[in-house]
Amino acid sequence: MIEDVSDDYYLELCDTPIRFESVSKVTNVFFDDSNKQVFAVRSGGVTGVVVKGPTEQMTTSFCMEDKGPVMSIKFSPDQQVLAIQRTKTSVEFVNFIGVEGMDSVEYSQSCKGKNTVILGFVWTCNSEIVFITDHGVELFQVVPEKHCLKALKSHSLGVNWHVFCPQSSLLLLSSGTLGNQIQPLHFKPGNIIKLTKFEIELGVVPKPAKLCLLERDVTLAILYGSPSIVVLRHQPRGVAGQGAEVVVYSIQKMLTARKSHILRLDMSGRFAINVIDNLIIVHHQASKTSMLFDINMAGESDGFVTYHQPVASMRPIKPFSMCLPAATGSQMLGEPAHINCELYSPNWVVFQPNIVIDAKLGCLWYIGLRLQPLVNLIQDKCLLVDFLLQRKDSKPVVIQVLQSILEPTEQNRSHLVVIAELFDHLNDVYRSFLEVEMQSQMGTPASSGLSVSPARPAAPVQPKAPVVIDQSDMYTNVFSRFADRHTKDGDLVDGGKFVVWVLLEYVRSLTDFHIPVQHYLHELVINSLVQHKAYYQLHQLLQYHVVSDSKPLACLLLSLENLYPPAHQLALDMLKRLSTANEEIIEVLLSKQQILPALRFVRSIGSVDQVSARKFLEAAKSAGDPTIFYTVFKFFEQRNQRLKGSSTFSKGEHCDTYVKYYQTLFNNNDNNTAL
């Protein structure tokens, strides 16, 4: 169902946030951005830990001995081992064994280097963990059954901070005085793969030099299937007074990072970044608004970098209110149980890809994208449809947009060029989908086998967009809807012409992209042409084979004979061109009492020996013309003589009735009438 909204908020917080105990003097809150788990760690004698995750299986609680303040805490991806960092030089591990729960034995692993400080750690897979230290990284294999770790690989490098992306298993290490020397590492089971080191450009280099590129300004994300580094640059390079910008570095083939996109924010202040459905969302705290960027959309380019403006104007996140938990202190004081949450709060911390945590309030939200408001905010309809096709679950909204654009209004009639371009955009994606589908079915690169067409490039690895609007979608939800309405309510001349033009333009676009047009679309085109008395155009379409020949189409033409008499001959010509519809042609001729032409057709295709005598004799009798009946009867007597040596009909042909009828008509007089 498409949400009927009157507001223009294109971002919203999820209806049911994950609630956890808020930060206090006795409770610390940690977030594991790999497993998306919140740990509320309550200290004092015995450490109580409550874990809230995205699923029930990732939600648990347990107690452990208080051995000092917890600096970081994370489960392995399979939730079998818990890693706890309490000091700057070691990490403790505890096994979780099925229904038995937490193991009583803890085991520890220190970092290898002397005077080395652990900055953090991440699980790279179920049984491997990497320590990030100020001197590099150390990869270990965790062996739970032996309560120990085994060193696998290491890489030495002075490290300021790190950023990890669990989806791509990429780790960025910041080094150098300014912090802009970046070493990407790709983790595979048992191995560390070094990518080419690169330097992130800084807007302004401070003097004296100091660390100015911070962890909070760098985000690792997956954009359109490719790992990307998203960097917030508070002051553009070499430009004064233009506000901040976001620089996107694309990682190519897991080898090198290249600066590919710049997002212009044109404002300054405190920002935070999320990635939702391949869109970069930039939140601005001072204005309490968010911006939407799509690197897939066209922008200005200098040949190396593409510069982008926001897809739509800035908007705040949709207001959110929630009920406080029962029996809280505020309720006991008589305050309302329902509160409006402060959006863009200073307490907000943003995590990837689409998570916002308010540790003081004790809430974790997923930010969602609302497509419906964007329909009115993006004015260029081709850009709008291109944008929507790239969004998951957007098909109902795309269909609604198409229905609106193709409504036969005065405004839409003046935008015929836009509609033609729109169809080409839809069918470009449709074609890529068909090529990928064919490749997957055949197990080989798709060729031009979709239709008779020139050689085309090899099929893409995946469709150009995740949402495809095919012929069936257009017919069911758009075209037939208009056709039915005009049939019932009558039609203005201009409106009828518009509908016909739209249908023909869509067929043109399909043909240009070498996509075979389905017969139901051809039927709709022909019905519309006849309904609007566009007979000249209909004749041209058929004469020049714009509409493909098919039996269903020929039958449709036959049914339109009362409205357009030449349709009968057009149908016969189509059936003859098909060369596989001989039986249908005979039936059509006989139904029109064109018995002798039917016999001539039988002779022309060499099927005299196979046709049913009874069928022709019945048609000749129904015609009520003795001469025709005589001719047909003698035709089949001669066939009998040639095939069996006797002019009589066999019992299996069930022609006794027609023999008696012949005898009644002619009293056995044998008058010959030539075909």
Beta bridge mates, 130: 122, 139
| Domain-embedded: residue 350 | no
**Nearest CA to 79 among 43, 54, 110, 104?**
54
Q: Which of 147-161, 218-232, 422-436, 515-529 has the lowest mean pLDDT?
A: 515-529
Note whether 453 and 561 are same-domain residues: yes
Note whether 647 and 625 are same-domain residues: yes
Q: Which of 308, 326, 343 delimits the end of a domain?
A: 308
pLDDT at residue 149 in the model:
95
Q: Which of 293, 308, 323 delimits the end of a domain?
A: 308
What's the token pair of residue 651? 């019992």
Note whether 451 and 556 are same-domain residues: yes
- Inform me whether the pLDDT recorded for 675 exceeds 70: no
Note whether 497 and 603 are same-domain residues: no
| Domain-embedded: residue 371 | no
What's the token pair of residue 110? 């220190």
- What are the angstrom distances between the C-alpha of 259 and each of 226, 268, 306, 396, 488? 13, 22, 9, 35, 57
Virtual torsion, Cα 108, 111, 115, 117, nearest 10 deg: -90
Question: Is 162 within 8 Å of 176 (Cβ atoms)?
Answer: no
pTM comes to 0.81
CA distance linking residue 72 with residue 93, whole number of Å: 12
Note whether 584 and 467 are same-domain residues: yes
Mode of pairing for the β-strands spanning 90-97 and 81-85? antiparallel
Question: Is 305 within 8 Å of 261 (Cβ atoms)?
Answer: yes
Note whether 542 and 600 are same-domain residues: no
CA distance linking residue 577 with residue 388, whole number of Å: 42
- What are the angstrom distances between the C-alpha of 8 and each of 314, 316, 318, 371? 10, 9, 9, 10
| Domain-embedded: residue 332 | no
Q: Which of 1-5, 172-176, 616-620 has the lowest mean pLDDT?
A: 1-5
pLDDT tens for residues 575-595? 778 877 777 777 777 887 888
Note whether 163 and 270 are same-domain residues: yes
Q: What percent of the chain has pLDDT over 90?
A: 50
- Inform me whether the pLDDT recorded for 414 exceeds 70: no
Note whether 620 and 580 are same-domain residues: no
- Counting the structural domains of the chain, the total is 3
Q: What CATH number is given to the structural domain containing 156?
A: 2.130.10
Beta bridge mates, 19: 363
pLDDT at residue 546 in the model:
76
Q: Which of 288, 308, 328 delimits the end of a domain?
A: 308
pLDDT at residue 604 in the model:
77
Note whether 565 and 485 are same-domain residues: yes
| Domain-embedded: residue 454 | yes
pLDDT at residue 493 in the model:
47
Q: Average pLDDT, whole number, for the chain?
A: 86
| Domain-embedded: residue 367 | no
Amino acid residing at 487? T
| Domain-embedded: residue 27 | yes
| Domain-embedded: residue 328 | no
Give the pLDDT band (50/70/90) at residue 613: confident
Note whether 572 and 612 are same-domain residues: no
Note whether 565 and 654 are same-domain residues: no
Amino acid residing at 155? H
What's the token pair of residue 77? 């991806």
| Domain-embedded: residue 28 | yes
Range of the domain at 398: 376-592
pLDDT tens for residues 470-498? 999 999 999 987 766 655 554 444 567 78
Residue 56 carries which DSSP code? G
Note whether 635 and 663 are same-domain residues: yes
